Amino acid sequence: MSTDAPADPSRRPFAGSANPRAGRGESPLPTAAAAYWEAAAASFDEEPDHGLRDPAVRAAWAARLRGWLLSGPAAVLDLGCGTGSLALLAAEQGHRVTGVDRSPRMIARARAKLAGREAAFLVGDAAEPPVGERRFDAVLVRHVLWALPDARAALRRWAGLLAPGGRLVLVEGRWGEAEPIGVSAAELTSLVAPLAAWTRVESLVDDPVLWGKEVTDERYALLAEVPGRDGAVADAPLASPSG
């Protein structure tokens, strides 16, 4: 499932580490349903940071990915990949990409966008990617945690999919003033810390080109190295404080 829509992030219903209604024993919010993302697929790429059609926006995300992902060809798992815009950037940088999204229409667009490249796309749940026992050098996730019923369990699963020395790349944020939603950098760091050898938080607020507009809410990328041993992360050292 892609979770970069709706376009206005202040309308993304995330509170803490779970879908808020699900956490209260209610049905998940409609925007977490597969049908929502199926309907959104047709217009998904119209947002500057989704379709990356503006050369400046595209170049800004490409530069960030180049710094976040490991150098040299790597196996990258893009969860909630949407129409594959970030996956395409990663493939252009020489990485082998596997994308997972809940929406078949999103996946169809991603496959078309990366036709002829070393990439594979699967329909499936980002929280439980249908990749079997495969291991990846990097797990890339952008604006997905808000829609998951158990973010802590999902992070543990993602960490277990990393090869030794692999990296989590989590692009997240917290939006709104009166009733802010999303996950703050401090909250996400605390969730990732038990799984990581180190973490680093990189603010994305001061780069409006990424979003195609000026932004004032909290937007960031959290990078974490999760050493792991065949997916066993319980004994990994706690993360060092990050800025």
Confidence (pLDDT) at 101: 94
Confidence (pLDDT) at 45: 60
pLDDT by 10s per residue, the chain, length 243: 444 333 333 333 333 333 333 333 333 333 456 677 677 776 676 677 785 778 999 899 999 999 999 888 999 999 999 899 999 999 999 999 999 999 999 999 999 999 999 899 999 999 999 999 999 999 999 999 877 889 999 999 999 999 999 999 999 998 877 777 889 999 999 999 999 999 999 999 999 999 988 888 899 999 999 875 544 443 333 333 333
Confidence (pLDDT) at 42: 67
Q: How far apart are CA 72 and CA 38, in angstroms?
A: 34
Confidence (pLDDT) at 33: 62
Domain positions in the chain:
9-226
* Per-residue H/E/C for 99-153: EEECCHHHHHHHHHHCCCCCEEEEECCCCCCCCCCCCEEEEEEECCHHHCCCHHH
One of 3.40.50.720, 3.40.50.970, 3.40.190.10, 3.40.50.150 is the CATH number of 9-226, namely 3.40.50.150
Query: Coil, helix or strand for 233?
Result: coil
Phi and psi, residue 171, nearest 5°: -100, 115
Where is 50: in which H helix or E strand?
A: helix 48-51
Distance spanning both ends of the chain, measured CA to CA: 30
CA dihedral 107, 109, 110, 112 (to 10 degrees): 120
The amino acid present at 76, given as its one-letter code, is: V
Query: Coil, helix or strand for 46?
Result: helix
Q: How far apart are CA 208 and CA 103, in angstroms?
A: 28
Residue 147 tokens read as 């829609």
| Spatial contact of 209 and 215, defined as CB atoms under 8 Å apart | no
Confidence (pLDDT) at 20: 37
Note the residue count of the chain: 243
